[in-house]
């Protein structure tokens, strides 16, 4: 069964969240120019999966709102982010595109302020690998998605093997200093999936550039069936 929402965060988590807010304050003005093109293929896959489901969508880590104008208008989208500066950019997009079906609010992925079974689709786009406690965020997303609902995860998720894995380890201190992550492994996500009795892996899609990013579709289902590993 999905876990209940955690009421208390550790002081260390609060420090990490505050550090991320400082990093996002720096990135907010330039984020779209730097990443709109790089993330376009992954964003297209995310929107295709989300729009196929429709209904109520929660985007965790909405950032500057790059995805918001792309959703089908039949999706009612709630977006949360810990960064006020990122959220301000997202609100500009909502106003510019007349996105009346979008609701934005500041929130923490690891402690979602929604009742259980609130959403048809929950999306974590390029945020899971940056969180102090990714498993807590996954638990929360599982709690708030409806039975037979969908979770879509996108990010730089690799198995850490070979030369690429070594390069990631060497780069990790520098990458993390600017708010990114180079060391989140696919085995960690697969381990969380295996530990849930009601999570089914549906798709594990490589995305440009060169398969560097992954787009992953999960279903909250009691009819879990074995899926081949990526």
Residue 80 pLDDT > 50: yes
> How confident is residue 16, by pLDDT bands cut at 50, 70 and 90?
low
**What average pLDDT does the segment 82-98 reach?**
95
Residue 185 pLDDT > 70: yes
**What average pLDDT does the segment 198-213 reach?**
90
Tell me the β-bridge partners of 103.
Answer: 78
- Taking the C-alpha atoms of residue 60 and residue 76, their distance in angstroms, rounded to an integer, is 14
CATH superfamily of 11-220: Vaccinia Virus protein VP39 (3.40.50.150)
State the pLDDT at residue 169: 65
> How confident is residue 7, by pLDDT bands cut at 50, 70 and 90?
very low
Give the 3-state secondary structure of residue 148.
strand
State the pLDDT at residue 170: 60
DSSP run (H or E) holding 93: helix 84-97
116-139: per-residue pLDDT in tens? 999 999 999 999 988 888 999 999
State the pLDDT at residue 3: 43
* Burial of 39 per CB tally in 10 Å (0-12, 13-18, 19+): buried
**What average pLDDT does the segment 90-112 reach?**
96
Question: Among 96-100, 179-183, 212-216, which is the least confidently predicted range?
Answer: 179-183
Strand order, beta sheet including 213-220: 102-106, 75-81, 55-60, 119-125, 145-155, 213-220, 199-207
- Taking the C-alpha atoms of residue 86 and residue 63, their distance in angstroms, rounded to an integer, is 5
Residue 150 pLDDT > 70: yes
27-76: per-residue pLDDT in tens? 787 889 888 999 999 999 999 999 888 899 999 999 999 999 999 999 99
Asked whether the bond before 209 is cis by omega within 30 degrees of 0, the reply is yes
Q: What is the mean pLDDT of the chain?
A: 84
Q: Are 82 and 108 in contact (CB under 8 A)?
A: yes
Token reading at 184: 């989140």
- Taking the C-alpha atoms of residue 69 and residue 158, their distance in angstroms, rounded to an integer, is 29
State the pLDDT at residue 2: 41
């Amino acid at each position: 069964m999905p876990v209940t929402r955690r009421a208390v965060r550790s002081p260390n988590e609060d420090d990490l969240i505050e550090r991320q807010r400082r990093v996002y304050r720096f990135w907010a003005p330039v984020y779209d120019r730097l990443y709109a093109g790089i993330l376009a293929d992954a964003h297209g896959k995310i929107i295709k999966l989300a729009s196929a489901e429709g209904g109520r969508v929660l985007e965790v880590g909405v950032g500057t709102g790059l995805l918001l104008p792309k959703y089908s208008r039949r999706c009612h989208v709630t977006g949360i982010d810990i960064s006020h500066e990122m959220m301000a950019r997202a609100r500009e997009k909502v106003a510019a595109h007349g996105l009346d079906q979008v609701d934005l609010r500041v929130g923490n992925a690891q402690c979602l302020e929604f009742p259980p079974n609130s959403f048809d689709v929950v999306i974590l786009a390029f945020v899971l690998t940056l969180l102090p406690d990714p498993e807590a965020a996954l638990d929360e997303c599982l709690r708030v998605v409806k039975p037979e609902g969908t979770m879509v995860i996108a990010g730089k998720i690799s198995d850490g093997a070979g030369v690429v894995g070594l390069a990631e380890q060497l780069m990790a201190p520098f990458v993390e200093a600017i708010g990114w992550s180079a060391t989140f492994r696919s085995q960690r996500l697969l381990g969380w999936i295996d530990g849930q009795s009601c999570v089914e892996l549906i798709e594990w899609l490589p995305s440009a550039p060169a398969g560097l990013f992954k787009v992953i579709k999960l279903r909250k289902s009691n009819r879990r069936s074995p899926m081949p590993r990526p």
